[in-house]
A and B are shown apart, each in its own frame.
Chain A
Amino acid sequence: GNSVTQMEGPVTLSEEAFLTINCTYTATGYPSLFWYVQYPGEGLQLLLKATKADDKGSNKGFEATYRKETTSFHLEKGSVQVSDSAVYFCALSSRQETSGSRLTFGEGTQLTVNP
């Protein structure tokens, strides 16, 4: 079955530091890949996505590249801010024959950015 593995957290950084959160996946076929973000007390929001190999998703200074050869979708940001403190989830979506797409989530990585 499909699975997503994220680097263990929590991750604590100082403001303006470089961020990498690793994500690898196992899936059949050609899934779409996502990063969702969950701010304190809120639901998940889509941060970025990539639908095919070598696509780069980007939003709010975050980037991730769909690497089929390494089955990875690592999240990066060059300079984090305190407001980036949140839980980040990597996810994949694969088409099912009768049920449409289903999301499989990683465990989530808590990021704390200190001033």
Chain B
Amino acid sequence: DAKTTQPNSMESNEEEPVHLPCNHSTISGTDYIHWYRQLPSQGPEYVIHGLTSNVNNRMASLAIAEDRKSSTLILHRATLRDAAVYYCILRAGTQGGSEKLVFGKGTKLTVNP
């Protein structure tokens, strides 16, 4: 499985932007980049995913490097409810390979009021 590397923890202040980095230097051309987050005592929640182009949705933006070896999840205005563990995951875009989704340790985001 292609691996990802994320910082163990990050801090942010409320209403400020947050940039959560993820390195995936061994990514293959068919791997999709997925982001999930897990609030305390809950199951993970899908945030966003992309392949090559930057992506935006109501929750966040995903900026993907031109060489695809890294990506950044952007929360435009952090709120206290954004405090969670954020996981960056690679999902194979090949037949028979995309069913398996392996989570790393993620980044624990603390949002200060």
**A and B part of one assembly:** no
Residues of B within 8 A of A (CB): none
